[in-house]
Amino acid sequence: HYDMSWVKPKPLMKRRHCFELDERIDAYGQVVTPLKDDDVRRVAAEIRATPEIQAVAVCLLFSYLNPDHELRVRDILMEELPDLALSISYHVLPKWKEYERASTTIADAYLKPVVSKQLKMMRGRLDAAEVRSPAVIIKSNGGEMTLDAASEAPAQMVLSGPTGGVIASRYVTEELDISHLVTIDMGGTSTDVSTVINKKESFTTAFEIEWGVPVQVPMIDIRTIGAGGGSIAWIDKGGMLQVGPQSAGANPGPACYGRGGTSPTVTDANLVLGRINPDNFLGGRMKLDVKAARAALGGIAKQLGQSIEETALAIARIVDNNMVGALRSVLIERGFDPRDFTLCTFGGATPLHASALMREMGIPRAVVPVHPAQFSAYGFIMTNARVDRQRTTQFISTKFDAERANTIMSDLVSESLDELKTQGYRRGIEIYRALELRYLGQNYELELP
């Protein structure tokens, strides 16, 4: 959508830190210009002379068809620069489309130093606490992986946080025998929307951190917007009331928390509207300050020339409309009829807005978990290990090479099984095979089992 306030995101790497190699593999995987080891060592010396570089991403043309050059570059860089994190596109995303492959590999390398450090600290704390059970990290595809695997493939953790609620929602469809769910998770800073179709999560690889920064790892298809309980209401230059994406966060949080926050938030609005019991927040363990909430809303109410209650209702309606837009994007814009779905509402704030969303979208039913704020955590407990492997090879249907396709598929299955076994998973393994197909001249693919 058009956004006058949009600011182009900064690239994950600076252009002056992009180095070239004189080599070439063509579109058929054949070597046109051989790689020279001395060229790689020259680039390694340039990188070594740039102390701010902490990680290296390697992406060469058509390496998904023939990885020999990338693998050789990796070996030399590991020898020359043993202390730097390293990602190569053949391991991160061996698929066609150079820009998406490069962007995803850069994101993986960008995350490696930070993720490795954090996981090392976490491992130390677990050992100090004498925790004996194995620790796992949730992946973007809703699976789990060991700490070592997470350190080697951090891009697979992008947007993994919201997957727990979607996984738990799939179990809801099985327990209640519901075919289709649309899930909505409203927390303190954002709202995440997804779907469970025919009792299965929806997946995608077409994800962008920001517009123009794709990270195309397999992941549960989740749409995120900046609307949460801590989202701040404000007046723009045109005198219009806006809500978010700025957030008060957990500290200081909404004004009603009494922690020094003064900005009017969605939680303050819901409190003023009487939707939250100020004496029973967190089961009565925390008292909310209604006067502070009214004072926070008073400033923008005066600017709008209306009462505090009218302003609170306007804030709630704006947030509702923002969430309706997200629901439309995963339902109506994809050809689904909302009347065929049940709304699954979780997260600390979503149930407060459920009835308005159902009314606006025409969704006939809703499921509210007993503990909506803990629902995603339940999903993480229920998750299983999952490995996705993908590789591009191009055929025309009239000249389909079944033997070659079966060989590639067998290789992918073997790699997946090896990774699962390395992580300690050997039993109860299910294998799902799929092809991504497109019409000649079409620029996107459809996945077929």
* Positive or negative: CA dihedral 138, 143, 147, 150: negative
H/E stretch holding 148 reads helix 147-152
SS3 string, the chain, reads CCCCCCCCCCCCCCHHHCCCCCCEECCCCCEEECCCHHHHHHHHHHHHCCCCCCEEEECCCCCCCCCHHHHHHHHHHHHHCCCCEEEEHHHHCCCCCHHHHHHHHHHHHHHHHHHHHHHHHHHHHHHHCCCCCCCEEECCCCCEEEHHHHHHCHHHHCCCCCHHHHHHHHHHHHHHCCCCEEEEEECCCCEEEEEEECCEECEECCCECCCCCECCCCEECCEEECCCCCEEEEECCCCCEEEEEEECCCCCCCHHHCCCCCCCEHHHHHHHCCCCCCCCEHHHCECCCHHHHHHHHHHHHHHHCCCHHHHHHHHHHHHHHHHHHHHHHHCHHHCCCHHHCEEEEECCCHHHHHHHHHHHHCCCEEECCCCHHHHHHHHHHHCCECCCCCCCCCCCHHHCCHHHHHHHHHHHHHHHHHHHHHCCCCCCCCCCCCEEECCCCCCCCEEEC
Residue 50, pLDDT score: 92
130: left (phi over 0), alpha (psi -120 to 50) or beta: left
10 vs 309: CA distance, rounded Å:
40
The low-confidence residues of the chain, meaning pLDDT below 50, are none
Question: Domains in the chain and their CATH numbers?
Answer: 15-126 (no CATH), 134-386 (3.30.420.190), 393-449 (no CATH)
Q: What are phi and psi of 240, to 5 degrees?
A: -95, 145
User: Which pTM value belongs to this model?
Assistant: 0.86
437 vs 239: CA distance, rounded Å:
49
Q: What is the DSSP code (8-state) at residue 326?
A: H
273 vs 352: CA distance, rounded Å:
11
Joined together, the tokens standing for residue 413 give 């299955």
Tell me the CA distances in angstroms from 135 to 123, 124, 125, one per residue in order.
8, 12, 12
Q: Which residues face 410 on adjacent strands?
A: none
351 vs 365: CA distance, rounded Å:
13
- β-pairing, 85-88 vs 55-58, is parallel
35 vs 43: CA distance, rounded Å:
13
DSSP structure string for 59-70 = --TTTTT--HHH
Q: What is the DSSP code (8-state) at residue 209?
A: S
368 vs 59: CA distance, rounded Å:
46
